[in-house]
């Protein structure tokens, strides 16, 4: 299945707009913002999958949870809702009415390619016509995010 890129965006850095219901970590707000930067360029179809790719995962939420447990404190309840990448995928899907599959991957390296492979599978199977693939990485040197909206090229 060949894919055509309809839109692409890279987070340029700076302040990330907060997203209601997500706290402490930049992971989910960053995913939502780079999705916005991508999708504001085109109108995505409803049959669009949301695919989150992140080698690191949300390290800040994981660390906050670990610290709370180690200190014998109860983690903040909102950390529960954002502890898996599905949460921000669902936020993006609801915001843009994207009713394709939700897939989250953690590859070894920060690359869109595993997400594009997943996009090819769901589009080839007919479970989606397009896919929004979002790459998010948190590290000590800083956050990075990139998003691409692809469409399957059917013969």
Partner 1 sequence: MNGSGLGSGHRRGRAEVAVTGMAVTTAYGRGGDALLAGVLSGAAAFSPVTRFDVSARRVRTAATLPGSPVLRDELTAVIDQACDQAKLSAAQRASAPLFLAAHQRADLPRRRQRAVTYTSACVAASTAVADAASTIAHGDAERVVVAAGYVVEPDQFALFDAGRALATDDAVRPFSKGRKGLLLGDGVAAIVLEADPREPLAWIRGWGRAGDAYHVCQPRPDGSGLARAIGAALRRAGVGAGDVDYVNAHGSGSPQSDAAEAAALRAAGLDTVPVSSTKSLHGQALEASPLIELITTVLAANSGTLPVNAGFLEPDPDCPLNVILGEPLARFPRYPLIVNSAFGGANTALLVGAA
Q: Which residues bind to partner 1, rule: CB under 8 A?
A: 21, 46, 49-50, 54-55, 57, 62, 65-66, 68-69, 72-77, 79-91, 93-94, 96-108, 114, 117-118, 121-122, 124-127
- Residue 2 or 125 with smaller CB distance to partner 1: 125
Smallest separation (angstroms) from partner 1 to the CB of 96: 8
Considering the complex, what minimum distance in angstroms separates the CB of residue 102 from partner 1?
A: 4
Task: Kindly state the smallest distance separating residue 15's Cβ from partner 1, in Å.
Answer: 22
The secondary structure of residue 129, as a DSSP letter, is: S
Closest CB to partner 1 among 4 and 80?
Answer: 80
Q: Determine which helix (DSSP H) or strand (DSSP E) holds 4, and give its type and residue range.
A: strand 2-10
Query: Can you list the pairs that 9-17 forms with residues at least 24 positions away whose Cβ atoms lie under 8 Å?
Result: 9/34, 9/37, 9/38, 9/41, 9/146, 9/147, 9/148, 10/34, 10/37, 10/145, 10/146, 10/147, 11/37, 11/143, 11/144, 11/145, 11/146, 13/142
Q: How far is the CB of 12 from partner 1 (least distance, A)?
A: 26
Choice between 26 and 54, CB closer to partner 1: 54
**Nearest-approach distance from CB 154 to partner 1, in angstroms:** 14
Q: Which residue lies nearer to partner 1 by CB, 13 or 120? A: 120
Residue whose CB is less far from partner 1, 37 or 119: 119
Residue 49: beta bridge partners? 131
């Amino acid at each position: 299945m060949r894919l055509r890129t309809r839109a692409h965006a890279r987070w340029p850095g700076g302040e990330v707009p907060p997203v209601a219901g997500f706290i402490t970590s930049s992971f989910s707000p960053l995913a939502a913002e780079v999705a916005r930067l991508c999708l504001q360029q085109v109108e995505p179809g409803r049959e669009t999958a949301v695919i989150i790719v992140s080698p690191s995962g949300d390290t800040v939420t994981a660390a906050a949870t670990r610290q709370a447990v180690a200190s014998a404190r109860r983690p903040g309840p909102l950390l529960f809702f954002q502890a898996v990448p599905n949460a921000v995928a669902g936020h993006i899907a609801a915001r843009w009415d994207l009713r394709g599959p939700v897939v989250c991957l953690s590859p070894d390296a920060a690359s869109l390619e595993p997400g594009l492979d997943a996009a090819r599978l769901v589009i080839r199977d007919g479970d989606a016509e397009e896919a929004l693939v979002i790459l998010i990485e948190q590290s000590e040197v800083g956050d990075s995010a990139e998003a691409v909206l692809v469409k399957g090229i059917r013969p």
